[in-house]
Structure 1
Amino acid sequence: MAYMDTPETQRANRRFMKQAMTVPLLDEDREFELARRWKENRDEQALHELTQAYMRLVISLATRFRNYGLPYGDLMQEGNVGLMQAAARFEPERGVRFSTYASWWIRAAIQDYILRNWSIVRTGTTAAHKSLFFNLRRLRALIANGTRQNLTEEDRIFIAKRLGVGTVDVAAIDARLMAGDRSLNTPVGDASNESTVEWQDLLTCERPLPDEEVMETHDREQRSQWIEDALESLNERELTIIRERRLQDNAVTLETLGARLGISKERVRQIEHAALRKLRDALLDKVPDPEEAGLLA
């Protein structure tokens, strides 16, 4: 649910905005002088005059983000933080107007505040997600004049190309924007009914059932035993090659094994293939269908 300012808060915001709009703008020379005095001498009076002159910039940028359901006063406060950060880092000798430089810091501060507080679930953890979060609504409005509720695959591809992100990211952020936070204890249906089902009751547990875990454990142990029995049909050299080549995460190369066993790598390959055939035959004697049992690919 979007935040609604109280009448008192609205009046306080209007007073702040009215006062900010009465402060005269600075010309380039005055702006340079104030910025230099603050940077070189830490003149707080110069800092105050510099930031007060561009408070209207904070108001303007905060107004652009009013539709995210957060207190307007907080948006302006965060914008003020960005304005102070800009003043602390501004280098007047570069020849850039302070308003141009400050706009980036103000916008960044407001956007970071929105991403931290828009939802209890962290949103916009990457640069791509942040770009999507603040541009998806605008691009949605461009698609079929905003008449479609759900994005089609073509819509997602269009947005992904415009923003240089993946379609998976578009789908993920779109789902977050279209669905607000919801408590798992929220009743489904009539809340006055004592037997009302809650949202958490409808969540599907993806863990295997106890009987499935028992069956999987039994099957795993049985497969291991079949393989151990089949390995007994191999001679020592075949067993070494199979263990080094097939039963390790990092398989040893044919060349390395050949050097260790004193044979060529082609001979190692031949022995490996012969050993695999022997294993298959041994498994067929014990298991009617080794592939169905998950033993052979």
Structure 2
Amino acid sequence: MAVQDISTAALEVYLATRSPEAREQLVLQSVPLVRYLLSRLGITPELGSEYEDLLHQGLLGLIEAVDRYDPQFGTRFSTYAAVRIRGKVLDYLRSVDWMSRTARQRVRAIQKAVEELWLKNQREPTDEEIAAHLKTDVDTVQRGLMDSNRFLLSLDAPTEMDNEDSDLHDRLGDERQIDPQELSLDEELRRQLADAIRTLPEREQLVLSLYYHDELNFKEIGKVLGISESRVCQLHARALINLKVVMSHE
């Protein structure tokens, strides 16, 4: 599902009338976008009641987007709604801090171990090497990777909305007017990211490509690669941790 896949007819009717009925119809037709964005964040129905709580937050973000959207922003409604939805979900995760102290410590220890092993061996460490470095077992490392993937911000997570009254176009800027200096910096960042990705194992590169370029969720990637959804989640987390280490030492 692409972010822009929202009924233009429902949006046009709502913008023309601003009626409660049209508003409700637009919200209902946009609910799949909320579920899609949750899956992109690694949040699935398997979480049970926690998933329902996050779905509720996503729906609140969607309703805010419907009420605040103005086509004069020069931004698609679906893009605007996606930022609002993800921002609401991530703000909620930060506020409740679902990670236990033990899980949080485990994630930080793994990140530190990965960085130390990268610097020592000049390559990505294996799960076994991370476990040996931390004097723990591989299962604990893999649980830490799952925690990291679910609760830490990923590369496609939006920035926080510091000011609820600020318009989206104030944050994104006018896409029709490109600052040459900003464009140069953006191109340099893209180059550094591409170079860093090429240092990763082929399977991690493929997971990133399928997730960010082809927009598959973890379950779909698992079917493509013939591995479990949880293993895809771990590979994705490893790739992000490794990218941060590589880019921070360039």
Question: TM-score surpassing 0.5?
Answer: no
- TM-score between both structures, scaled by the size of structure 1: 0.33
Greater RCO structure (CA 8 Å; 6+ sep): 2
**Greater fraction helix:** 2
- TM-score between both structures, scaled by the size of structure 2: 0.38
Structure with greater Cα Rg: 1
